[in-house]
Amino acid sequence: MAVVQQAMQGYHYVFDELSDPRTKDWWLVSGPGPLLTILATYLYFCTKAGPRYMKDKKPYNLKQVVMIYNICQIILSMFLSVIGITFFLTEKYENKCYSVDYSESPRAMLWATGAWWFFFAKITELMDTVFFVLRKKDRQISFLHLYHHTVMPIVGWMGVKYAAGGQAIAEGCINAFIHVVMYTYYLISGLGPEYQKYLWWKKHLTTMQLRETNGGRRLFRRRESESKEEEKKQQQTIYSTRMAAIIGLLWQGYKRVFQELPDPRTKEWFLIAKPYQTLAVLGLYLMFVLEWGPKFMKNRQPFNLDKVLIAYNSFQVIACAYVFIRSLQVAWLWDYKWICEPVDYSNSPQAMEIANICYYYFSLKIIDLLDTVFFVLRKKNNQVSFLHIYHHTGMCLLVWGAVTYLPGGHGTLIGVINSFVHVVMYAYYLLSVVMPSVKNSLRVKKHVTQLQILQFFWCVVHMAIIVFKSDCAYPRWTSAMFLPQNLFMLVLFVDFYIKTYIIKPRQQMKAKLQTTTVDQNNNNLPKNGAVKAGNGMNKMNGLNEENIYVKNDLNKAVNENSNNGTPHNGFCGNVNIFENGTEKSNCGNGNCRGCVRLSEMETGLGISKETMCLLQT
C-alpha cells in the first residue's frame, strides 16, 4: 500500500503541483491519460488496424473531405500566426529572452490560449496520416512522418501544461505560418492536374520547413546569448529547479520502492530487489525466443536434445517436489491458516526457511524459461505461443515481487499448488522423452490440462478470500496483481481445453464418419473398402453372408469380437446391415444378444455416443 501511496504522491506532484495553475484543468491538459490514449489509438490504427482493414479494399475517394480539412487547417494556422504576430508587436520582441507570464492578465491569458490552440492543432493534424491510410498512400507513412506527428502533440501538451506562453510562442508562430503555406499547397494540388502549374514553389516549401527548424534553434540560442544575465539566471533557475525536482522525485521513488520497502532479509539476494537484473534476464529471454533463436535455427536441423531433456525434466521433478513437500511440512500442513496468513518478517528459523523456499521457487521460475529455449532449438515453433511466453514472463515478475516484498504468508500457497502441478507436468515431459508413446496419449495430455485449469481456479479462489476479509494482515492490494493474472490464465487454458479436447475431436469424428460410407451393391465389394461381416456374424443375425456388409471402421472389431457365431461380451458388431440394397437390421431389431459398453466403443473405434448404433437384445 505504501508503494501505491508513494506513486500517487509523485503523480500529484508532477501533474498537479508543477503545472501551470491557469491551464492545469483545461480540456486534454489535466492529465497525460487523454493524450496518451489518443496517440496510442493513432499509432495502432496507422500501423496495424488501418492497413489490415484496407488490405482487400479499394482506396476511399476523400477528395472533398480532404479539401475541407485543408481549408480548416489553413484557417487555424492563420489564427495562430496572428496570435504570434500580436505577441511580437505588443511585447517588443527582440530575439531576447521572454519568460512566461503566469498571471491572469488579458495578454497573459491570450498567450496561454494561443498555446492551447497550437496543441489542439497538433492533435487535429494526426488526421493527415489517417487519410493516407484510407487512401492507401502507404509510402507516405514513413518513420519520420509518424515520429513528427507523435512528438509534436506531446511537446504542445507540455508547453500548455507547464509554460503556456513566453519564448516558445516564437517557434509556434513560425510553425503556424509554415503550415499555412503547406496546407495551401495541399489544397491546390487536390484541385486537379490543371492546377499543377501553379505549384512551382513546391521545392521552396521543404526549404522553409528546414529553415523553420534551424531558425527556431537560433532563436533559442540567441535568447541565451543576448538576454540579460539576471533574466537568464532566473529562467535557468526555474527550469533547473523543476527538472531537479522531477529527477529527485524519481530517484527518491526508486530508493523508496527498491531499497526501503523490500524485505531486508531478501533484498541482497541474487536477482532480488534490483529490478534491472530480472528485467535483463527476461529481455534476453524474449529476444532469444522471438528473434535470435528462430533466426539462428532458420537454416539448421533441429537439435537432438533427448539426453539434455531427460536430465532437465528429472531435475524439475525433483526440485518441484522438494518445494512442494517442504512447504507443506514447514507451513501449510501445521502452522499456516488457509483463510488469511500474514507474512512473518522475523529472523526465526521457520520464517527464514519459508523465505528460502520462496527464493528456491523463484529460481525455478527463472529455470523454467529454458522450456521455451528448448522449443526453439528443437524447432518446435508452434509451441512458442503467446500463452506460453506470457505465462513464463508473468510468473517470473510476480514471484520476483513476492520474494522482494512478501516472502511468506498467504500468497505462498500459489507456489505450493504450482509446484505440485509442475511435478506432474515435468514427469509427463520426462516420460514423453523416454517413452514416446506417452507423448501421443490424448488422455494423459487432457488430464494434465485439467490439472492446470484446477490450479488456476484454486489460486483465484485463494486470493479472492482476502478481498472480502477486511481484517486480514496480509496486504489486500496483492489481489489486484494476482487475480487478473490467474483469471487471464484460467480463461486462456479453458479456451485451449475446449478447442483442443472438445471441439477438435468432434470435428475430426464428424469428418471421419462423413467419409465412411456403405456400398449397397449386394454383388460387389463396397467402394470405401467396407468388408463382409465374417466369423459367423451373419448366422447370428440370420442373414445371407454374401449380402451383409459392415462399415469399414467396425471390421476390425467384428473380427476380434466374434467366435463361432457368438460375439464376446455381447458385442453386436454391426452398425447398419444391408440386404439387396435395403437396410435389413439396425438398433432395436432384437437380433443381438447384448451390447458392448459405449465407453469401450468410443475408446476402441473413436465413435461418439450420438453416432453409435448398437443392436439391442
The residues annotated as belonging to the active site are 148
List, as one string, the DSSP characters of 528-581.
T---B--TTHHHHHT--GGG-B--HHHHHHHHHHEETTEEGGG----S-EEETT
Neighbours of 183 (CB within 10 A): 22
CA dist 197 and 211 (Å) reads 25
Q: Which residues contact 524 (CB under 8 A, 6 or more apart)?
A: none
Degrees, nearest 5: CA angle 377-380-383: 125
Nearest to 111 by CA among 85, 92, 136, 135: 85
List the grid coordinates of 78. Answer: 492563420
Closest CA to 119 of 26, 185, 21: 26
58 C-beta neighbours (distance < 10 Å), count: 7
Rounded to the nearest 10 degrees, the angle between the axes of helix 306-327 and helix 412-434 is 150
Q: Which of 390, 404, 358, 98 is nearest to 222 (CA)?
A: 98
In the chain, the amino acid numbered 239 is Y
Please give the full DSSP string across 38-106, using - where no structure is assigned. HHHHHHHIIIIIHHHHHTTSPPP--HHHHHHHHHHHHHHHHHHHHHHHHHHHHTT--SS------S--H
Three-state DSSP at 586 gives coil
Residue 123 and residue 117: Cα distance in Å, rounded?
10
C-alpha cell of 107?
495578454
Q: How far is CA 157 from CA 410, 519, 528, in A?
A: 44, 77, 73
Question: From CA 566, how far away is CA 562, in angstroms rounded?
Answer: 6
Report the distance separating Cα 492 and Cα 432, nearest Å. Answer: 24
CB 429 within 8 A of CB 306: no
- Residue 402 has which C-alpha cell? 513476492
Phi, psi of 593 (to 5 degrees): -85, -10
Cα–Cα distance, 101 to 92 (Å, whole number): 15
Cβ within 8 Å of residue 15, ≥6 positions away: 24, 31, 32, 161
- For residues 525 and 483, give the distance between their C-alpha atoms in angstroms, rounded to a whole number: 62
